[in-house]
């Protein structure tokens, strides 16, 4: 227990210090974590051998991240990506493997050379996607292309893992046995003993794989919704979080059991759930776990850098690292040109994916275990992979500081590619929120509807209104609903106090977002106004006026006259609202606020006065201008 | 009235210009919108989009009258609808030009101010004459406005009109028209327009060069 507390303290401490500093210096959080890892690992020697186990555990962060990315991609969008996924991704992997292998052939046996090619062809999903998200690049062309390549690589890992045992070197057999167990499938659980498919024939294995994928797709589509609905009805938030984690871990386990990539499985589950009403709730529940685990993963990468090996063969390692970055970058740049990415995105794509990645560690461990690579070479390559990951944030800085400024001049038309901005968040889909939403959607505005009642969300979805389950007062849920890019929010939740709290929160944290709130009554209106909403609307005021106007018409008042009276009333009432606000006291009940009651009486009297005078002599403000000039006025005009 | 300007003796004196813009579907406008944007960007010119301020036709009479008082040149800008202004601008006239304010006993608020109408018309110029299908010139058709100005004691200038407005963009006439518009507003603001000479013309934009003195201070009426 002491050991656990101590280690937890050291890792958290390193992260808490290094990451904000790195972020402040403009280096990005990933580099911060890596530096934190280097500090507590090779530099200060506070942590040691447990980092390797931790790393396997921390790879769960990658699994969670791919689940979240899947949630952002509706099946339709994934289908649109098929060309770049297969074309860009496929060509990247094959070209990089071919070139790296060809160069490695000059130095080592062809089998080792091919293994090296496979190891170095993969990029770091964790670093790249985390950085894309942090810098808001995920939805640019370059970001999408990068995601395609990374997804293809995740798929390609599976045949690579199958290929490596076939490359065993006769002369290495026997020397690498001690290293077994150091590397497994990503996700940290693919022990050979846990595989259900170890001894199966090829066709049987294919069937099992298909069945597993089908289970994820159909289970995700048909079983999760009733399950989540049932759990949501219990209103126990931590159980919902537990269910979300259970879902992701369960799929990861299933995938490991059939020797598939857990990251890929959860990605698929994410895509299946991207259309579900629980999407934003799942996102905000999983997000913190993903963030911490990924952070831990980056720390272990930093901590795992072996300074002994590094200093012994410094120039070899540095040379190889730079060499592989240049080689991968060249392949990527050529592909970016071939696929005609926008100019700025070509550089982003090239620099972002030029490193080797965490799957490289996995393949290295696996190669060692299968006697494909000699241990000394594997150690050097391990270092090359880690160093290239360490350099990735630096390449992003190069992109930000050197390339982006130069492009910003002539690159104007490409800026529109970042989609999905300026939406309106509607908090609460009751009678009020519904009409607001329908109006906006009919006008072509993109809305995100949130409600904490799963049954209401279900009803809305049944009639074709895109809405999501979750408590709109939760900051993390608002964030995953896109509040940061939203143009406005409509606060239409039933709970009066929470509506005010939400308004206060929005003003404090997102002052840029336009704030419209539904008020239950005058007191609520004033509370919302004090909280800083741009506009508060009394929910039944307009409909009551309409009823009043209808009665007037029934009683024989000319329809246009009735309309003018209603307008006069509305204006008068608006003035009253302004005046009474000055006398309003939050801490004093309105029925006990003597000054305010006095003013209410006076205003009510003048209201009556205004409309009755209107009837009597037609000289109210509502009649102004349509009032004929005095009789005989024309006699003077000619003079 | 503090803002009354003696006729023809205001050379170089700065005037406040008010442009009242009325277009019920400005998003589809091809000529009026660029004109509006140009006017809104001019220093010393107050630009008011009436349909934006009064989408429910509930015109604030006091506010509009205060605006009139604060300006020396009043201009309507609109597309020509049935030989007149769009409905909201007519409503504006009905409500704001009150008896006792704009005309009649005590109605002297607008005396001496300049007034003109800037309009775009769909029909070709040839249609606006006794032989054309509209039978009257544009100045003749706008006589209700001319007489309104007269009854309010304002100095009426002929219209600044663009004909064949639906094809102005395709035929490359837009830039010149907007340029003339800006030139006219600036010249009115700076008191560089020959008012006496302008008053008798059929249209303001026909003889703009002759009417406007060059920017460095030059006397009106040369």
User: Chain A contacts of B95, Cβ < 8 Å?
Assistant: 624-626
Per-residue pLDDT, averaged over A166-173, amounts to 67
Same domain, A356 and A437: no
| Paired strand residues for B212 | B193
Same domain, A248 and A382: yes
> Which domain covers residue A70, as residue numbers?
52-189+243-406
pLDDT for A24? 81
For residues B19 and A311, which has the higher predicted lDDT (pLDDT)? B19
Does residue A550 form part of some domain?
A: no
Residue B2 has pLDDT above 60, yes or no: no
For residues A138 and A227, which has the higher predicted lDDT (pLDDT)? A227
Q: What mean pLDDT value characterizes chain A? A: 82
Per-residue pLDDT, averaged over A300-328, amounts to 85
Does residue A549 form part of some domain?
A: no
Spatial distance between the Cα atoms of A341 and A520, rounded to a whole number of angstroms: 52
pLDDT for A132? 85
Q: Identify the DSSP state of A558.
A: -
- Give per-residue pLDDT as tens, A511-532: 999 999 999 988 899 999 999 9
Residue B117 has pLDDT above 50, yes or no: yes
pLDDT classification of A285: cutoffs 50, 70, 90: confident
A174 inside 8 A of chain B by CB: no
From residue A154, how far is each of A365, A484, B149, B196 by CA, in Å? 17, 31, 78, 83
CB contact under 8 A, A626 and B94: yes
Spatial distance between the Cα atoms of A221 and B26, rounded to a whole number of angstroms: 47
pLDDT classification of A240: cutoffs 50, 70, 90: confident
User: Chain B contacts of A569, Cβ < 8 Å?
Assistant: none
Does residue A223 form part of some domain?
A: no
Residue A317 has pLDDT above 60, yes or no: yes
pLDDT for A293? 87
- Give per-residue pLDDT as tens, A42-75: 888 777 767 777 877 888 888 888 888 888 777 8
Per-residue pLDDT, averaged over B106-111, amounts to 93
Same domain, A390 and A488: no
| Percentage above 70 pLDDT, chain A | 88
| Paired strand residues for A538 | A519
Among A352, A349, A347, smallest CA distance to A403 is for A347
B27 inside 8 A of chain A by CB: no
Beta strand segments in A29-93, E? none
Same domain, A473 and A574: no
Among A335-339, A357-361, A370-374, A609-613, the range scoring the smallest mean pLDDT is: A609-613
From residue A470, how far is each of A244, A322, A454, A462 by CA, in Å? 14, 47, 8, 17
Which ipTM value was assigned to this complex?
Answer: 0.78
Residue A179 has pLDDT above 70, yes or no: no
pLDDT for A192? 43
Burial class (CB in 10 A: 0-12, 13-18, 19+), B147: exposed
Max mean pLDDT range (A177-181, A346-350, A466-470): A346-350
- Token reading at A592: 């006990």
pLDDT for A190? 41
pLDDT classification of B12: cutoffs 50, 70, 90: low
A631 inside 8 A of chain B by CB: no
Hey, which residues 545-604 in chain A have their CB within 8 Å of chain B? Answer: 567, 571
Max mean pLDDT range (A254-268, A468-482, A524-538, A592-606): A524-538
Looking at residue A511, which CATH number applies to its domain? 3.40.50.720
Spatial distance between the Cα atoms of A220 and A68, rounded to a whole number of angstroms: 14
Residue A173 has pLDDT above 80, yes or no: no
Does residue A531 form part of some domain?
A: yes
Look at residues A344, A371, A406 and tell me which one is the last residue of a structural domain.
A406
From the CA of B79, how many Å to the nearest CA of chain A? Answer: 24
Look at residues A406, A439, A466 and tell me which one is the last residue of a structural domain.
A406
Looking at residue A297, which CATH number applies to its domain? 1.20.1530.20
Residue A575 has pLDDT above 80, yes or no: yes
Same domain, A144 and A270: yes
Check: CB of residue A246 under 8 Å from CB of residue A67: no
- Token reading at B109: 């608020």
pLDDT for A287? 85
Same domain, A393 and A356: yes
Residue A503 has pLDDT above 90, yes or no: yes
From the CA of B147, how many Å to the nearest CA of chain A? Answer: 12
Quickly list DSSP for A193-217: GG-SSTT--HHHHHHHHHHHHHHHH
For residues A494 and A454, which has the higher predicted lDDT (pLDDT)? A494
Per-residue pLDDT, averaged over A9-31, amounts to 84
| Percentage above 90 pLDDT, chain A | 17
Does residue A225 form part of some domain?
A: no
B160 inside 8 A of chain A by CB: no
Same domain, A296 and A341: yes
On the CB side of A353, CA atoms within 13 Å amount to 35
Beta strand segments in A136-271, E? none
Maximum distance among all alpha carbons in chain A?
A: 122
- Token reading at A588: 């004093």
pLDDT classification of A412: cutoffs 50, 70, 90: very low
Q: Is the dihedral of CA A23, A25, A26, A27 positive or negative?
A: negative
Check: CB of residue A490 under 8 Å from CB of residue A429: no
Beta strand segments in A352-502, E? 424-427, 447-451, 467-469, 488-491
Question: Which residue of A545, A625, A629, A635 is the best one to mutate when testing the B interface, meaning the one whose CB has the most B CBs within 10 A?
Answer: A625
- Give per-residue pLDDT as tens, A377-408: 888 888 888 888 888 888 888 888 887 777 65
Q: Which of B58, B94, B99 sits opposite A633 (nearest CB)?
A: B99
Same domain, A467 and A569: no
Indicate the pTM of the whole model: 0.64
From the CA of B83, how many Å to the nearest CA of chain A? Answer: 23
Does residue A547 form part of some domain?
A: no
Work out the angle at residue A62's Cα, subtended by the Cα atoms of residues A127 and A266, and round it to the nearest 5 degrees: 140
Does residue A631 form part of some domain?
A: yes
pLDDT classification of A194: cutoffs 50, 70, 90: low
CB contact under 8 A, B104 and A637: yes
Same domain, A260 and A367: yes
- Give per-residue pLDDT as tens, B27-82: 889 999 999 999 999 999 999 999 999 999 989 999 999 999 999 999 999 999 99
Q: Identify the DSSP state of A399.
A: I
Spatial distance between the Cα atoms of A63 and A254, rounded to a whole number of angstroms: 13
Spatial distance between the Cα atoms of A127 and A392, rounded to a whole number of angstroms: 8
Residues 6+ apart with CB under 8 A from B26: B32, B33, B36, B49, B51
CB contact under 8 A, A626 and B95: yes
Same domain, A401 and A426: no
Check: CB of residue A568 under 8 Å from CB of residue A614: yes
Total domains, chain A: 3
Residue A187 has pLDDT above 70, yes or no: no
A444 inside 8 A of chain B by CB: no
Read off φ and ψ for residue A173, nearest 5 degrees. -55, 130
Per-residue pLDDT, averaged over A442-454, amounts to 87
Check: CB of residue B9 under 8 Å from CB of residue B196: no
Residue B148 has pLDDT above 90, yes or no: yes
Question: Which residue of B64, B97, B103, B150 is the best one to mutate when testing the A interface, meaning the one whose CB has the most A CBs within 10 A?
Answer: B103
Same domain, A181 and A301: yes
Same domain, A176 and A262: yes
pLDDT classification of A625: cutoffs 50, 70, 90: low
A632 inside 8 A of chain B by CB: no
Q: Identify the DSSP state of B214.
A: P
Read off φ and ψ for residue A149, nearest 5 degrees. -65, -45
pLDDT for A297? 84
Check: CB of residue A222 under 8 Å from CB of residue A263: no
pLDDT for A392? 87
Burial class (CB in 10 A: 0-12, 13-18, 19+), A5: exposed
A308 inside 8 A of chain B by CB: no
pLDDT classification of A27: cutoffs 50, 70, 90: confident
Beta strand segments in A306-418, E? none
B11 inside 8 A of chain A by CB: no
User: Chain B contacts of A637, Cβ < 8 Å?
Assistant: 103-104, 151
From residue A222, how far is each of A68, A215, A250 by CA, in Å? 19, 10, 16
CB contact under 8 A, B99 and A629: yes
From the CA of B184, how many Å to the nearest CA of chain A? Answer: 32
B150 inside 8 A of chain A by CB: no
Q: What mean pLDDT value characterizes chain B? A: 90
CB contact under 8 A, B98 and A625: yes
CB contact under 8 A, A630 and B99: yes
End-to-end CA distance of chain B: 28
Q: Which of B94, B96, B104 sits opposite A629 (nearest CB)?
A: B104
Residue A183 has pLDDT above 70, yes or no: no
Residues 6+ apart with CB under 8 A from A527: A496, A500, A586
From the CA of A434, how many Å to the nearest CA of chain B? Answer: 24
Q: Which of B58, B96, B105 sits opposite A636 (nearest CB)?
A: B105
Spatial distance between the Cα atoms of B128 and A218, rounded to a whole number of angstroms: 72
Look at residues A496, A512, A539 and tell me which one is the last residue of a structural domain.
A539
A626 inside 8 A of chain B by CB: yes
- Token reading at A349: 């794509």
- Token reading at B147: 């007489």
Does residue A227 form part of some domain?
A: no
Check: CB of residue B75 under 8 Å from CB of residue B19: yes
């Amino acid at each position: 227990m002491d050991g656990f507390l101590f280690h937890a303290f050291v890792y958290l401490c390193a992260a808490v210090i290094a990451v904000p500093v790195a972020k402040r210096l403009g280096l990005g959080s990933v580099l911060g974590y890596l530096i934190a890892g280097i500090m507590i690992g090779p530099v200060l020697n506070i942590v040691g051998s447990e980092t390797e186990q931790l790393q396997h555990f921390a790879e769960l962060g990658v699994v969670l991240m791919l689940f979240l990315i899947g949630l952002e991609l509706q099946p339709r969008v994934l289908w649109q990506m098929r060309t770049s996924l297969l074309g860009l991704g496929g060509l990247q992997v094959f070209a990089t493997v071919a070139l790296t292998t060809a160069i490695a052939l000059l130095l080592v046996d062809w089998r080792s050379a091919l293994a090296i090619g496979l190891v170095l062809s993969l990029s770091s999903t964790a670093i790249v996607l985390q950085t894309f998200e942090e810098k808001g690049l995920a939805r640019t062309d370059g970001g999408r292309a990068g995601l395609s390549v990374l997804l293809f690589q995740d798929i390609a890992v599976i045949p690579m893992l199958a290929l490596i045992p076939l490359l065993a070197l006769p002369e290495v057999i026997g020397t690498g046995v001690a290293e077994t167990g150091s590397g497994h499938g990503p996700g940290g659980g693919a022990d050979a003993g846990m595989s259900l498919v170890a001894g199966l024939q090829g066709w049987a294995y294919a069937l099992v794989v298909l069945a597993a994928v089908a289970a994820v797709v159909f289970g995700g589509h048909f079983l999760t919704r009733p399950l989540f609905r049932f759990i949501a009805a219990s209103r126990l938030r931590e159980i919902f979080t537990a269910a979300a984690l259970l879902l992701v871990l369960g799929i990861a386990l299933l995938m490991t059991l059939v020797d598939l990539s857990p990251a890929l499985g959860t990605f698929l589950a994410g895509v299946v759930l991207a259309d579900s009403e629980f999407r934003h709730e799942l996102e905000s529940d999983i997000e913190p776990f993903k963030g911490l685990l990924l952070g831990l993963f980056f720390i272990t990468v930093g901590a795992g850098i072996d300074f002994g090996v590094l200093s012994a063969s410094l120039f070899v390692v540095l040379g190889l690292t730079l060499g592989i970055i240049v080689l991968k970058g060249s392949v990527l740049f050529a592909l970016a040109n071939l696929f005609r990415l926008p100019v700025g995105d070509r550089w982003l794509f090239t620099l972002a994916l030029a490193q080797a990645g965490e799957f490289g560690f996995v393949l290295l461990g696996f190669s060692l275990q299968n006697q494909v690579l000699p241990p000394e070479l594997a150690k050097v390559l391990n270092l090359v992979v880690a160093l290239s990951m360490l350099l990735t944030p630096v390449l992003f800085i190069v992109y930000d500081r050197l390339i982006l400024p130069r492009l910003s001049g002539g690159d104007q038309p490409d800026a529109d590619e970042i989609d999905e901005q300026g939406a309106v968040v509607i908090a609460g889909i009751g009678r009020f929120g519904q009409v607001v939403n329908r109006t906006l959607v009919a006008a072509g505005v993109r809305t995100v509807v949130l409600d904490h009642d799963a049954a209401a969300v279900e009803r809305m979805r049944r009639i074709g209104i895109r809405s999501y389950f979750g408590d709109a007062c939760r900051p993390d849920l608002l964030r995953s609903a896109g509040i940061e890019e939203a143009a406005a929010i409509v606060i239409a939740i039933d709970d009066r106090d929470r509506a005010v709290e939400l308004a206060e929160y929005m003003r404090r944290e997102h002052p840029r977002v336009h704030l419209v709130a539904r008020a239950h009554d005058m007191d609520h209106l004033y509370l919302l106004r004090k909280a800083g909403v741009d506009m508060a609307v009394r929910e039944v005021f307009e409909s009551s006026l309409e009823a009043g106007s209808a009665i007037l018409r029934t009683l024989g008042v000319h329809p246009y006259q009735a309309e003018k009276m209603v307008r006069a009333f509305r204006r008068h009432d608006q003035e009253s609202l302004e005046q009474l606000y000055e006398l309003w006291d939050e801490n004093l009940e309105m029925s006990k606020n003597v000054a305010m009651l006095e003013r209410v009486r006076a205003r009510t009297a003048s209201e009556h006065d205004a409309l009755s005078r209107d009837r009597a002599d037609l000289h109210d403000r509502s009649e102004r201008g349509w009032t004929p000039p005095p009789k005989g006025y024309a006699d003077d005009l000619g003079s | 009235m503090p803002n009354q300007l003696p006729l023809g003796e205001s050379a170089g004196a700065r005037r406040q210009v008010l442009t009242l813009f009325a277009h019920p579907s400005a998003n589809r406008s091809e000529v009026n919108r660029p004109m509006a944007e140009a006017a809104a960007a001019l220093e010393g010119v107050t630009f008011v989009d009436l349909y934006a301020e009064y989408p429910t036709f509930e015109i604030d009479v006091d506010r509009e009258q205060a605006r009139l008082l604060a300006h020396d040149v009043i201009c309507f800008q609109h597309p020509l609808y049935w030989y007149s202004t769009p409905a909201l601008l007519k409503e504006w006239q009905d409500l704001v030009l009150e008896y006792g304010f704009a005309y009649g006993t005590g109605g002297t608020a607008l005396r001496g101010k300049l007034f003109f109408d800037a309009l775009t018309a769909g029909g070709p110029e040839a249609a606006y004459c006794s032989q054309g299908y509209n039978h009257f010139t544009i100045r003749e058709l706008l006589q209700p406005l001319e007489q309104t100005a007269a009854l309010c004691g304002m100095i009426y200038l002929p219209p600044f009109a663009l004909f064949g407005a639906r094809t102005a963009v395709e035929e490359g006439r837009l830039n010149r028209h907007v340029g003339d518009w800006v030139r006219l507003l600036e010249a009115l603001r700076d008191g560089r327009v020959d008012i006496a000479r302008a008053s008798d013309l059929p249209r303001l934009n026909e003889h703009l060069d002759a009417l406007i003195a060059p920017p460095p201070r030059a006397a009106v009426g040369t």
